[in-house]
Amino acid sequence: MLPKGTPTRRRSATPKSRTPRKRRHLHLIDPADGAEILPDRRVYSDAQLTRWKIELLMDDPDLPEYAASFRADGDADAEEGEACVVFTLSLPDTDLYPLQVRIFENGEIEYESHVPLIFRIQSRKKTISVRLLATVRAVADGVAVTYKG
């Protein structure tokens, strides 16, 4: 027995185990287009227009190959169509675009692509993942398409 006033250490029945901390990555934002740059992708979002995010999976996300933009399209009161948000991935300094995604208010997603790609929709996360299987660039004669190997 210990004399009165001596500090004692109590051991609990269960050992204290540290809960693993979440790994955090550095958030880099490209000032040119507002995309979040991650090690394998660029993430495009516009919180004012939609909760959906577009992830463009890339080999080198630090070098943007395309210009990206969101815009509102249509009017909810119009008879001809439903209001939607349009995401366009276009070639810099041209009117050409390899990918256009329409996100409707009811959650329906449509896309138009001029290059082969892999297109995945994650409804719960409100994320659209896109991997282009070819690169497109404007040249003097028109457009050059290079397939990835």
Q: What is the pLDDT of residue 139?
A: 86
Q: What is the pLDDT of residue 12?
A: 54
Torsion of CA 59, 63, 67, 70, to 10 degrees: 70
- Domain limits of the chain? 28-147
Torsion of CA 107, 112, 118, 123, to 10 degrees: 0
Q: What is the pLDDT of residue 71?
A: 95
25 vs 20: CA distance, rounded Å: 15
Q: What is the pLDDT of residue 137?
A: 85
Tens of pLDDT, residue by residue over 103-130, are 999 999 999 998 999 999 999 999 999 9
115 vs 137: CA distance, rounded Å: 11
Tens of pLDDT, residue by residue over 134-144, are 988 888 888 88
Tens of pLDDT, residue by residue over 27-56, are 688 878 889 998 899 999 999 999 999 999
* Predicted structure pTM score: 0.76
Tens of pLDDT, residue by residue over 59-107, are 888 888 899 999 998 765 555 568 899 999 998 888 889 999 999 999 9
Is a pLDDT exceeding 90 seen at residue 4?
no
136 vs 145: CA distance, rounded Å: 5
